[in-house]
Structure 1
Amino acid sequence: MLTAGCCAVVALAFLVPLALVLGDRARDEAIADAARRSALVTGALAVSTDPKVIERAVAASGGDPATRPVVHGLGDGTATGRAGAADLDQARAERRSLVVDVAGGAARLDPVVLGDRVAVVEVFVPDAALGGGSRWLLLAGVAVVLVGAAVLVVDRVATRTVDATRGLVHGALAIGDGDLGARVEPSGPRELAEAGHAFNRMAERLVAARADERELVADLSHRLRTPLTALRLDAEALDPDDTSMGTFSEAELDRRRGIRRIRQAIATLEGEVDVLIKTTRKAVTHDTGPAMCDVSEVVRDRMVFWSALAGDQNRPHRVIGAHLRIPAPVPRAELAAALDAVIGNVFRYTPQGTAFEVAVSRRDGYVAIRIDDAGPGIANPDRALRRGASDQGSTGLGLDIAKRVALQANGSVSIDRAQLGGASVVMLLADPEATPRPVNRFGLVGRMAREAREQKGAGRRWPRQRNGR
C-alpha cells in the first residue's frame, strides 16, 4: 500500500502539470482555428457589406452551424451571438481582437472598421473544442496505467531487495547458531550484493580461524604425548604399588599408594589427551574438508620427539626414505596422530632397548609408511585391527586411529612379521600425484619387506627376538 501511494503521488505530480500544459495548448489551437474562420468573414467585409457576400463567407468558414461566425453591427438586426453587449462595445472601443468567456465556452471578437461604423465578427468556441472533460479523462487513464506499471516494477525491485535482506538475516542467524558452513547468494541491489560477498568472506575467515585454532590444539596435544609416555614408562619402572598382599610399614604403604596415584594420574592424563586429539581431529576434518600434507615432513617432525625418548631407553632406531617430499591426501594432524599411535605402541608393548625403524616409500599409486620393531610381535593381527580390541589391557584405539586415517586416504593398514623379529605395521595411503592402479597391497608389503632385507644385508642387523607378544 505504501508503495502504491508513493507511485500515485509521483504520477499526480507529473500528470497535473502535463494536463495544464496540454489544456493551454488545446485552448490556443481552438482560438487559432476560430481566428482563421473569423479572418474569412473579416476579409469579405473589407470587400463588401452585401449580406449575400457575407453569408457565402460565413458558409465557407465551415464547421458546425452553431459555431459559425456571427457579424454584429451591420444594421440588419439579425445577429444572434453569445457575446454580451459590453464585450462587443469593448471590442469596438479598443478596436482589437478579444477572447471572452461566454456560456458553454469562449468567443473570439474581431472588430472590422467599415467607414464610420465598426462591425464585430464573433466566433464561438465550445468547451469541447477547448479540451475540457475529455482531456482530464484521458490523463486519468494514463495516470492509472502509469501507477499500475510503477507498482509492478517497484514490487519486483522491492521483492529482490527483501529476499536479499532475508538471506543475509538467515545467514547471520545460522552463523550465530554455530553453522559456519552457512553462505548467502549475493543478489538484489548493488549494495546488498556487496554485503552478501562481504558476509561470505567473513564466514570463510571464521572457518579458517577456527580450523587454525584446532590445528594448534591438536599439535600441542601431540607434543604432550612424548613427555607423557616418558612419565608412564618411568612410573612403570618404579616399585610395585600393590598393598593388598604382605605386611608393610606405614611409610612403605604411603610410598606405594603414592606410586599408585602417580600411575593413575598419568593414565588419566593420557586418556584426556587422546580424547582431545580425536575431538580436534574430527572437528578440523569437518571444518576444512580434505587436506594435504607432506608425509616425510610429518615423520621427521614426530621422530624428533620419539628419538629423545628412544635415547632415554637405549632403543636403536632409524628413519628410512623421509628425505624427499611425499604428499598424501590426509590432514597433517591426522597423520601425526596415527604415527604417534603406532610408535607409541612400540614403546608401550616392547621392552626397553628394543629396536625399531620407520620407513617411507612411494610406488604403484600408493604412499607406504612402515613401522617395524624387534619386539615379541602381535599374536593376533586381525583382532589388533578391530576397534576397542586389545590383548594388553589398553583401550585398543591405537591401531584403529591409524586404520581410520588410511581409509580416509583410500588406503589400508596391515600387520605382518617384521625382519627385525617383531611386528611390522604398514599404512598405505593413496598417492595424489599418481594414477591409482589395482595392485596387490599385501604384495606391496612383501616387496617392502624384501627391500628391507636387502638394505639390512648390507648394513647392521638388529637383534632378533623370538618370543611372541
Structure 2
Amino acid sequence: MATIIALVFLIPLGLAWQDAVRGEVLADAAQRSATVQGALAVSRDPKVVQKVLGTIGDDPTRRPVVHGLDTGGIVRASDEDVERAKERGAPIVVPVSDGVVRLEPVPLGPEIGVVEVFVPNSELDRGSGGRWLALVAIALGLVVASVVVVDRIAARAVTSARELVQAAVAVGDGDLDVRVQPSGPRELAEAGWAFNRMADRLVVSRTDERELVADLSHRLRTPLTVLRLDADALDSDDTSVGFFTEAELDRRRTIRRIRQAIVTLEGEIDVLINTTRKSVAAQEAGPGMCDASEVVRDRMVFWAALASDQNRTYQVLGAQLRIPVAVPRAELAAALDAVLGNVFRYTPQGTAFEVAVSRRDGYVAIRVDDAGPGIANPDRALRRGASDQGSTGLGLDIAHRVARQANGSVSIARARLGGASVVMLLADPDATPKQVSRFGLVGRLARERDSATRRWPRPRGRQE
C-alpha cells in the first residue's frame, strides 16, 4: 500500500518536473527565434542575418535557419512542416530524428519566411536520469519509513490485543485477579480499561453473592436456635428402657426425628456458610437510616419470649429515646440477632443478660452484656471465620461489618455481670465525632486499637 501511494504521487511529480525542464528549453528556443526576428526587422540582407546568427550560438549545427532566405545552416524540418507553419501562422514544434525543431513564421517582404530553431534531445532530457533516480530514492525511503512505522504500530496493537486475549482467557478460567495495562491504539486502550472495570465488578459481584449467602445462612441460626431449644425442652426420646404404650412410642420417635432434623439442618447451614466465608467483604452501597432504639425494642420482643422459656432475666436500657444511625434497619437487626444468638447459644439456660443503647461523644453504642463464662480470646473472636466452638465464626463478623458500614467498630470486654460485653459503636449521623477519650463509652474504641489481648481464666468460653 505504501509503494502504491508513493508511485501515485512521485510518478506525476517526475513527469511534471520533466515538462518543466522541456518548457524551459523551448522558451530558450523561442528567445533565439525572437533574436532572429529582430535582426530580420532591421535588415533582410543574408550576410547581415548570418552575422547575427553567428552571435546566437557557438555550435554551427545548432544555429537557427531562416527558410526563404539564404542564410546557410543545417535544415532539419521538412517542406511539409514549413508549409504547415506558414498556413497556421503560429509557432509549431515538430519532432525530428535527434530532437525537435521550433518553426515560427516571420514576414519577409511580400512573402512569409519561417525561422527554424533546433533543440537536441540532450537538452530536452537534461538531468532526467538524476531526477528519476532522486524520485526513486525518495520513494524507497518513504516505503521503508512507512514499513517501520506501521510495523511498530502493528506490534503495539498486536501485543495489546494478545495481552487482552490472555487476560480474558484467564478470567474465563476463574482467575479474577488478572488485570491488563491499557496500551496500544486508543480503541485497544479503552478496551483494556473496560476489561479492568469488568473484572473489578465481577470480583465485587462474586464477593457480594457469597457474603449474601453466608449472612443469610447465618440469619437462619436465630429461628433454628429457638427450634433447637424448644426441642431440648421436650421429653426424652429414649425408647430403649421401660415399657411404653404405642402412642408414647410414636411421640418419643417424633421427638427424636425433630431433634435429628434440627441437627441435620444445623449441619447443612454450617456447610453452606463455610463454603462462602473465604470471600472478602464486598463494597457496601450507600447506608440507609434507622432508629437504633426501635430496632432494639422490636428484636427484644422476639428474644424476650425465648428468654422467658429459659428462665433468663434481662434488662433493656436506653431504648426509650429515638437514636438514629446510618445503617439499614435489616442490617442492624441482623447484627443484633447475631450477638444475642451467641448469648443464647453459648451460655447456660438461666444466664442473665442486658441490652443497652446509649449516645455519647459522637457515637451510638449498642451493648450486649451477659453473666456467662465470657470469651477466652476476644481478638480471635473478631476474626471472620475463626471459632473454637465448631461454628462458622460469622456472628461477630456480621456485627463488625455493620459497624464498619457506619464508620464504627466492635469491641469485646468484661461485662459488669461477669461475662462478655460486646459493644457495637456506630457513628452518630447527627453529631461530629470528637477526639477519642480513654474514659467512658468511646474509650472502648481506643482500647480496641491498643490491640491488648484480654484473657479471663475461665475453664470454658464461647465465641461466634
Provide TM-score, normalisation by structure 2: 0.70
Which piece of structure 1 moves more, 255-264 or 180-189?
180-189
Runs of at least 5 residues in structure 1 that lack an aligned partner in the other structure? 1-5, 449-467
2:341 pairs with 1:344: yes
Residues 387-411 of structure 1: CA distance to partner in whole angstroms, max 9, x if unpaired? Answer: 5435xxx548477747976998895
User: Is residue 2:35 matched to residue 1:40?
Assistant: yes
Please name the residue that 1:29 is paired with: 24
Partner deviation per Cα, 1:91-150 (whole Å, 9 max, x = no partner) = 456554221223443221224443457353223143543564343333323323333444
CA–CA distance in structure 1, aligned partners of residues 225 and 124 of structure 2: 109
For the residues of structure 1 that align with 2:264 and 2:182, how far apart are their CA atoms? 50
Aligned equivalent of 1:107: 101
| Structure 2 residue runs without a partner (length 5+) | 448-459
Q: Matches of 2:136 and 2:290 in 1, distance apart?
A: 83
> For this pair of structures, how many residues does the alignment match?
432
User: Could you tell me which of 423, 436, 454 is aligned with 2:419?
Assistant: 423
Q: Give me the whole-angstrom Cα distance separating, in 1, the residues matched to 2:339 and 2:348.
A: 16
Matches within 5 A, 1:38-437: 38-50=33-45, 53-58=48-53, 60-61=55-56, 67-71=62-66, 74-75=69-70, 78-83=72-77, 87-88=81-82, 90-91=84-85, 96-115=90-109, 118-130=113-125, 132-155=128-151, 157-159=153-155, 161-162=157-158, 165-166=161-162, 168-180=164-176, 206=202, 210=206, 213-214=209-210, 216-218=212-214, 220-242=216-238, 246-247=241-242, 249=244, 256=252, 258-277=254-273, 280=276, 282-283=278-279, 285=281, 287-288=282-283, 304-305=298-299, 307-314=301-308, 316-318=314-316, 320=318, 323-326=322-325, 339-350=336-347, 355-361=352-358, 368-373=365-370, 375=371, 377-378=372-373, 381-382=376-377, 387-390=386-389, 395=391, 397=393, 401=397, 413-418=411-416, 421-427=417-423, 434=433, 437=436
Q: Look up the SS of the partner of 1:389 in the other structure.
A: coil
- Call closer, same or farther: CA 1:264–1:323 in 2, change over 3 Å: farther
Question: 2:129 is aligned with what amino acid?
Answer: G
Cα deviation per residue 1:71-103 (whole Å; 9 max; x = unaligned)? 455436x41255456544654565542212234
- Residue 38 (structure 1) shift: 1.6
* Matched position secondary structure for 1:107: strand
AA of the residue aligned to 2:373: I
- Structure 1 residues 248 and 103: alpha-carbon distance in aligned structure 2, compared to 1, 3 A threshold: farther
Distance 1:242 1:336, change over 3 A: same
Q: 1:457 corresponds to which residue?
A: none
Structure 1 position 347, deviation (Å):
1.4
d(CA) in 2 for partners of 1:440 and 1:64? Answer: 120
Percent identity of equivalent pairs: 49
Question: Residue in 2 aligned with 1:11?
Answer: 6
The answer to whether the 8 A contact 1:108-1:123 is kept is yes
> Per-residue CA shift, 1:335-376, capped at 9, x if unaligned?
776644431122124455654333345656876542113x4x
